[in-house]
Structure 1
């Protein structure tokens, strides 16, 4: 708001300063005793008409108070000639011949000018307002989508821990500690617009470690990282649902390195890839997986839709999500350009 106000102040002050400087130059260096008086009369009349009209435009016409606007406009037109009566030599032939046209021309010119400036400012204000509303809507929707992540993730993970506790598995306490670490990241550390990719990868690794407790075979996920992850930042919690889907669509029993996950940093891109075998439904033959379409969610699932919506808001035209099912293998690849635009509006709303 301060920057916009300063800009408007410059726009208003600069032309008046130039005009006043021209009058001063004419008085000091040209020695003309008549024309400077006309300049001063025009300047004072212009200032009065411009800002008086600008004021009633802002406070009456913009608010659709037409009667109040026209009453005050008439008052401005009646009082505007006063500077000419005070500063112009009425015995001067030029004044006697041209004073009516000078007064009318000055009033008409500055009335039109104030109207154009007021409309231009309105246009700028309305544009900023629409942009602000759009950014606020995006911000609110991102907060809503982010709030969906915690209950969705917590629901799935607590089910897993419930199974461990029910079977009195010795790994249950470790699972609770891992969940505590994950929730700390989700609730506190992921509040920033972006997080270091290395931190996000640690979160994924913790999640994989928690899920590993469900399986008898060691290291069912082959997780590999490529490229310089230390100097890259991304929006938090983008990959977790894609990783969850690899477990969701896999058979109940997995062998070592059955699921493959890759995170690669390539120049200006970050690529997340995952492959996993598809679980078959009982009424499907092995050559016809029970996954009818790529990215199918369980009833009530919000993971993939959440990711797609957040990508549209955070990385418009800067991401590509490819999900496919071929040869009974579920594949997902997300490519993003981490140079995202900030969604915090720097432009502030002005008065109307």
Structure 2
């Protein structure tokens, strides 16, 4: 906001400098008195322009209308005096003074009163627009912060339950699980604070999560994770896919065959496609919600805030298999725009 105000000050200085130069050039054709004429003319313009400009600044609102109009009438009435004082003929006789005063009062004074009003209204419009955008941005950031904060306890609750089971059984994999959780929490607490992260880092996070969950199964990896495309050049909002993967585990049968859960990530022509497929549990107590707790609701809200009109979220079920497909468009372009925005601010 302060930067915008400084820009307005610079605009005022530049425009008034140009106006003074043009006025001096025009009035220099009137002979030897052009310096005093120019001085009086500019002082009258400045007095009327900034008089109304600052009245609108300090006496805005219905309660201050009377004070504003009284002070504006005073400025208008005395606005012509600087030009009269510096005019080489205005003070010759009373009739001459009245004549010049009347001409100035109906030409120069109304024009610069209007220009002062126009400048104040324009600046207010720009500043209010910027302030509104900042408030909307803060509201979005607060909403995103709230949604992201939901991830941590939800994920931590599930993972601690898994580790508790390993520790209770005194499984040799328990220390490895603790280290894996530490790595995941480090990413969630520190690295995920950025607006975007490299897609490759987000994929590493998901792979760590899969490795931690795999400790529950004795068979070969139950998750088949395929990544296709350049994940280094893409940036994505952090912690966007974790709920989709959590739901796949949550709503799958307790016993999973190798490769039962299929996860694919494809980057093609500036489009990211994230797809999760899992078998549906036959246990009524584990019946599929739409499609499970706060998970997908959280994802929907974050997508609406972060990738409005740039994503598609499709959910389908065959009765035996549950499939979630997320597509995000213009990912390369958006990463560039976010970087430029951060540099600007």
TM-score (norm 1): 0.87
User: Which stretch has the larger CA shift, 240-249 or 84-93?
Assistant: 84-93
Question: Could you say if the C-alpha distance between residues 120 and 309 of structure 1 is closer, same or farther in structure 2, counting changes exceeding 3 Å?
Answer: same
Paired residues in the alignment total 337
Instruction: State the alpha-carbon separation in 1 of the partners of residues 50 and 284 from structure 2.
Output: 80
* Contact 1:142-1:313 within 8 A present in 2 as well: yes
SS of the aligned residue for 1:236 comes to coil
> Paired residue for 1:56?
55
Is 1:241 matched with 2:239? no
Instruction: State the alpha-carbon separation in 2 of the partners of residues 274 and 153 from structure 1.
Output: 18
- Structure 2 unaligned blocks of 5 or more: none
- Structure 1 unaligned blocks of 5 or more: 284-288
> Paired residue for 1:24?
24
SS of the aligned residue for 1:61 comes to coil
Question: Could you say if the C-alpha distance between residues 177 and 346 of structure 1 is closer, same or farther in structure 2, counting changes exceeding 3 Å?
Answer: closer
Cα-to-partner distance string for 1:69-88 (whole Å, 9 max, x where unaligned): 23322332332222132112
User: 1:324, CA displacement in angstroms?
Assistant: 0.9
* Contact 1:53-1:114 within 8 A present in 2 as well: yes
* Contact 2:273-2:325 within 8 A present in 1 as well: yes
Q: Which of 280, 283, 287 is 2:282 aligned to? A: 280
> Structure 1 or 2: larger helix share?
2
User: 1:98, CA displacement in angstroms?
Assistant: 4.7
Question: Could you say if the C-alpha distance between residues 133 and 101 of structure 1 is closer, same or farther in structure 2, counting changes exceeding 3 Å?
Answer: same
Instruction: State the alpha-carbon separation in 2 of the partners of residues 266 and 159 from structure 1.
Output: 38
Task: Report 1:156-175 matches (<5 A).
Answer: 156-175=158-177
Instruction: State the alpha-carbon separation in 2 of the partners of residues 346 and 57 from structure 1.
Output: 35
Instruction: State the alpha-carbon separation in 2 of the partners of residues 307 and 251 from structure 1.
Output: 23
Task: Report 1:209-224 matches (<5 A).
Answer: 209-224=211-226
Instruction: State the alpha-carbon separation in 2 of the partners of residues 48 and 76 from structure 1.
Output: 8
SS of the aligned residue for 1:65 comes to helix
> Paired residue for 1:43?
42
Q: CA RMSD in A?
A: 2.6
Q: Which of 102, 106, 109 is 2:108 aligned to? A: 106
Task: Report 1:249-288 matches (<5 A).
Answer: 249-282=251-284
Cα-to-partner distance string for 1:160-206 (whole Å, 9 max, x where unaligned): 11122222222112111111111111001111111111111111011
* Contact 1:135-1:345 within 8 A present in 2 as well: no
SS of the aligned residue for 2:313 comes to strand
* Contact 2:280-2:319 within 8 A present in 1 as well: no
User: 1:46, CA displacement in angstroms?
Assistant: 1.1
Cα-to-partner distance string for 1:9-43 (whole Å, 9 max, x where unaligned): 24322332222112332455x35346775554332
Is 1:321 matched with 2:313? yes
User: 1:4, CA displacement in angstroms?
Assistant: 1.5
> Paired residue for 1:286?
none
* Contact 1:325-1:331 within 8 A present in 2 as well: yes
> Paired residue for 1:306?
298
SS of the aligned residue for 2:20 comes to helix
Instruction: State the alpha-carbon separation in 1 of the partners of residues 38 and 216 from structure 2.
Output: 89
Question: Could you say if the C-alpha distance between residues 160 and 209 of structure 1 is closer, same or farther in structure 2, counting changes exceeding 3 Å?
Answer: same
Instruction: State the alpha-carbon separation in 1 of the partners of residues 104 and 269 from structure 2.
Output: 67
Is 1:205 matched with 2:204? no
TM-score (norm 2): 0.89
Q: Pick 1 or 2: higher relative contact order, CA cutoff 8 A, min separation 6.
A: 1
User: 1:97, CA displacement in angstroms?
Assistant: 4.3
User: Which stretch has the larger CA shift, 73-82 or 327-336?
Assistant: 73-82
User: Which stretch has the larger CA shift, 95-104 or 216-225?
Assistant: 95-104
